[in-house]
Copies of this chain bind each other. A is one copy, B any other.
């Protein structure tokens, strides 16, 4: 396929590299910042532009990989007569955001992508949607070239996946940070809990989370729970989070 990449950030970089690796042609990179378009285009031996009127008119795929908030403006500026399939890769954006085109769809990776860190795309299940069955199947075939785990899902399902990714990534990470701060205040290194963090994540790779739930709430050890709450009596935020998550564990026993 001849592919135009719209965007030059983390997702744009990873997807462009993956498409190229699978034998597709990255014919152009668009970014509203020319230097960014140039940088990615140079790495991929492709062309660059910061001018939407200069966009290649006859590519097979226009892959939108800009921030969620920038999608509506970019879409409104694209020629509605584009024949190629227009795709975004946002988890929280409805497929309808692209409904001014004839052919459109979504390829969403539930993974946190950083330009400077390679990820194994074969491990990322790509979530695919198309405005027609034909387009959905076309995008699913393309996605499966990148990851055999890819699957079709609709926009509400993709929202559930995106929200789940936020829960297990962003919310887990802020819990890690709160533990980091608690340890630091007690002159202790974060290294003390790095092994249990990894162990916890590894355990759910082949178990349903609640079947491996441990700790005072799971055991109904009210005495330890009270000791913990007393220990953080000067941290009302952490106390509230402690109580809510403890309730959730207790509720499922």
Please report A residues at the B interface, Cβ cutoff 8 Å.
67-69, 92, 110-112, 119, 123-125, 127, 149, 153, 156-157, 159-180, 182-183, 185-188, 190-205, 208-210, 212-219, 221, 223-224, 227-228, 231-232, 237, 240-242, 244-245, 247-249, 252
Contacts and interface: CB of A to CB of B under 8 A. Distances in A.
Nearest to A216: B166
Given A165-B196, A200-B112, A201-B198, A185 B170 contact: no
Contacts of A193: 110, 161, 164-165, 168
26 contacts: A92-B224, A110-B196, A112-B215, A125-B191, A156-B186, A159-B227, A160-B182, A160-B185, A160-B186, A161-B186, A161-B193, A164-B179, A164-B182, A164-B183, A166-B216, A167-B242, A168-B175, A170-B216, A170-B217, A173-B204, A174-B252, A176-B204, A177-B209, A194-B205, A197-B205, A241-B244
